[in-house]
């Protein structure tokens, strides 16, 4: 199940791969940019945190290539970029962002954040479980995920600045 909470409403989308939760602070297209957002045929889904500064320029280019928009949201621009360029969609983005895309066509999960890490993207992997969030406190709410560091963690923290749960 894929779900998102927007204001007082929660949107659920059934997927066989797991569960995602999302709470949105609306800035661009307050009324139409609800998430998770899907492309036209429902094969690609995105959750997105941030702002794409050049989304209007990208939108014009993508519309000329035949992409149709249902909203004015910069989130939808990322979806269309992914349809057009795949993982290389990030090469076209100017802004601060972190997002995750689920592509049902090839059952792939693609995550990215801006080059400077302005928008955080915390994640944890436990066996077959992958969890992500924009805040560590949200990530720690994941069932089965412990805040206790791994025993081999201290060297990585001091050498590389990595903290593994």
Q: pLDDT digits over 5-16, tens only? A: 333 333 444 444
Nearest to 82 by CA among 90, 72, 74: 90
Whole-prediction pTM: 0.74
What mean pLDDT is predicted for residues 110-124?
89
- Given a contact cutoff of 8 angstroms between Cβ atoms, the answer to whether 38 and 82 are in contact is no
- pLDDT tier, 123 (very low <50, low <70, confident <90, very high otherwise): confident
**Residue 128, pLDDT score:** 78
- pLDDT per residue as tens digits for the range 62-99: 999 999 999 988 999 999 999 999 999 999 999 999 99
- Angle 22-27-30 from CA coordinates, rounded to 5°: 80
Name the nearest CA neighbour of 28 among 91, 71, 58, 87. Answer: 71
Q: How many CA within 13 A on the CB side of residue 14?
A: 0
């Amino acid at each position: 199940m894929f779900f998102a909470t927007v204001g007082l409403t929660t949107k659920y989308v059934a997927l066989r791969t797991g569960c995602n939760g999302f709470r949105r602070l609306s800035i661009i297209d307050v009324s139409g940019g609800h998430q998770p957002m899907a492309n036209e045929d429902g094969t690609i889904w995105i959750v997105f945190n941030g702002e794409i500064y050049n989304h209007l320029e990208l939108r014009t280019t993508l519309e000329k290539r035949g992409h149709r928009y249902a909203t004015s949201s910069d989130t939808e621009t990322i979806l269309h970029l992914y349809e057009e360029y795949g993982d290389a969609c990030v090469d076209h983005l100017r802004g601060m962002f972190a997002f995750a895309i689920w592509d049902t066509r090839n059952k792939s999960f693609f995550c990215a954040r801006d080059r400077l890490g302005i928008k955080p993207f915390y994640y944890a992997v436990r066996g077959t479980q992958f969890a992500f969030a924009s805040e560590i406190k949200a990530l720690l709410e994941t069932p089965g995920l412990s805040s206790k560091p791994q025993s081999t963690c201290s060297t990585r923290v001091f050498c590389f600045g990595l903290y593994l749960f």
